[in-house]
Protein backbone atom coordinates (compact mmCIF):
# COMPACT_ATOMS: atom_id res chain seq x y z
CA UNK A 1 0.00 0.00 0.00
CA UNK A 2 2.80 2.42 0.88
CA UNK A 3 4.58 1.60 -2.38
CA UNK A 4 1.40 2.36 -4.35
CA UNK A 5 0.99 5.69 -2.52
CA UNK A 6 4.60 6.63 -3.31
CA UNK A 7 4.13 5.65 -6.94
CA UNK A 8 0.92 7.67 -7.24
CA UNK A 9 2.64 10.71 -5.65
CA UNK A 10 5.50 10.54 -8.11
CA UNK A 11 3.09 10.08 -11.01
CA UNK A 12 0.94 12.93 -9.70
CA UNK A 13 3.93 15.27 -10.04
CA UNK A 14 5.45 13.70 -13.15
CA UNK A 15 2.49 14.42 -15.43
CA UNK A 16 2.35 18.17 -14.61
CA UNK A 17 6.11 18.48 -15.10
CA UNK A 18 5.83 16.90 -18.55
CA UNK A 19 2.97 19.26 -19.38
CA UNK A 20 5.08 22.23 -18.17
CA UNK A 21 7.89 21.26 -20.53
CA UNK A 22 5.52 20.85 -23.48
CA UNK A 23 3.88 24.23 -22.71
CA UNK A 24 7.28 25.92 -22.53
CA UNK A 25 8.23 24.48 -25.90
CA UNK A 26 4.89 25.52 -27.40
CA UNK A 27 5.33 29.06 -26.07
CA UNK A 28 8.99 29.79 -26.68
CA UNK A 29 9.82 27.88 -29.86
CA UNK A 30 7.39 29.91 -32.02
CA UNK A 31 8.53 33.10 -30.28
CA UNK A 32 12.12 32.24 -31.22
CA UNK A 33 13.43 33.67 -27.98
CA UNK A 34 13.37 33.16 -24.25
CA UNK A 35 12.98 36.93 -23.85
CA UNK A 36 9.21 36.67 -24.35
CA UNK A 37 8.30 38.07 -20.91
CA UNK A 38 4.53 37.74 -21.38
CA UNK A 39 5.06 34.03 -22.02
CA UNK A 40 7.10 33.69 -18.82
CA UNK A 41 4.34 35.33 -16.80
CA UNK A 42 1.61 33.13 -18.29
CA UNK A 43 3.74 29.99 -17.94
CA UNK A 44 4.60 30.80 -14.32
CA UNK A 45 1.00 31.49 -13.29
CA UNK A 46 -0.36 28.34 -14.92
CA UNK A 47 2.43 26.18 -13.49
CA UNK A 48 2.07 27.69 -10.03
CA UNK A 49 -1.64 26.91 -9.97
CA UNK A 50 -1.05 23.39 -11.31
CA UNK A 51 1.61 22.59 -8.72
CA UNK A 52 -0.49 24.06 -5.91
CA UNK A 53 -3.54 21.99 -6.86
CA UNK A 54 -1.44 18.83 -7.26
CA UNK A 55 0.33 19.27 -3.90
CA UNK A 56 -2.99 20.09 -2.21
CA UNK A 57 -4.55 16.83 -3.34
CA UNK A 58 -1.40 14.80 -2.62
CA UNK A 59 -1.57 16.00 1.00
CA UNK A 60 -5.33 16.13 1.55
CA UNK A 61 -6.75 13.25 -0.49
CA UNK A 62 -4.20 10.94 -2.10
CA UNK A 63 -6.94 8.36 -2.60
CA UNK A 64 -8.72 10.73 -4.97
CA UNK A 65 -5.56 11.11 -7.06
CA UNK A 66 -5.07 7.34 -7.14
CA UNK A 67 -8.65 6.82 -8.34
CA UNK A 68 -8.38 9.59 -10.94
CA UNK A 69 -5.17 8.13 -12.36
CA UNK A 70 -6.68 4.64 -12.72
CA UNK A 71 -9.73 5.76 -14.70
CA UNK A 72 -9.76 4.62 -18.30
CA UNK A 73 -12.38 5.45 -20.85
CA UNK A 74 -14.60 2.52 -21.70
CA UNK A 75 -15.49 3.76 -25.17
CA UNK A 76 -13.86 6.15 -27.59
CA UNK A 77 -15.22 9.62 -28.09
CA UNK A 78 -17.28 10.35 -31.21
CA UNK A 79 -15.36 11.57 -34.24
CA UNK A 80 -16.79 15.08 -33.94
CA UNK A 81 -15.56 15.40 -30.34
CA UNK A 82 -12.09 14.11 -31.26
CA UNK A 83 -11.81 16.57 -34.17
CA UNK A 84 -12.94 19.50 -32.03
CA UNK A 85 -10.53 18.49 -29.26
CA UNK A 86 -7.66 18.40 -31.75
CA UNK A 87 -8.61 21.75 -33.25
CA UNK A 88 -8.81 23.36 -29.82
CA UNK A 89 -5.10 22.69 -29.34
Q: What does the pLDDT look like over 1-33, one tens digit per residue? A: 555 556 667 777 888 899 999 999 999 999 888
pLDDT at residue number 43: 94
Global pTM reads 0.65
pLDDT at residue number 65: 78
Confidence of residue 57 (pLDDT cuts 50, 70, 90): confident
Rounded to whole angstroms, the Cα distance separating 45 from 27 reads: 14
Say if residues 4 and 42 touch (Cβ distance below 8 Å): no
Report which of 43, 46, 50, 48 is spatially closest to residue 24, judged by C-alpha positions: 43
Q: What does the pLDDT look like over 28-54, one tens digit per residue? A: 999 888 898 999 999 999 999 999 998
Q: What does the pLDDT look like over 58-78, one tens digit per residue? A: 889 888 877 777 767 677 888
Rounded to whole angstroms, the Cα distance separating 40 from 64 reads: 31
Say if residues 64 and 8 touch (Cβ distance below 8 Å): no
Amino acid sequence: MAEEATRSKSTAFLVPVIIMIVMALALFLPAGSLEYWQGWIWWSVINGMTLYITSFFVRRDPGLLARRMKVQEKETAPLTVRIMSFLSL
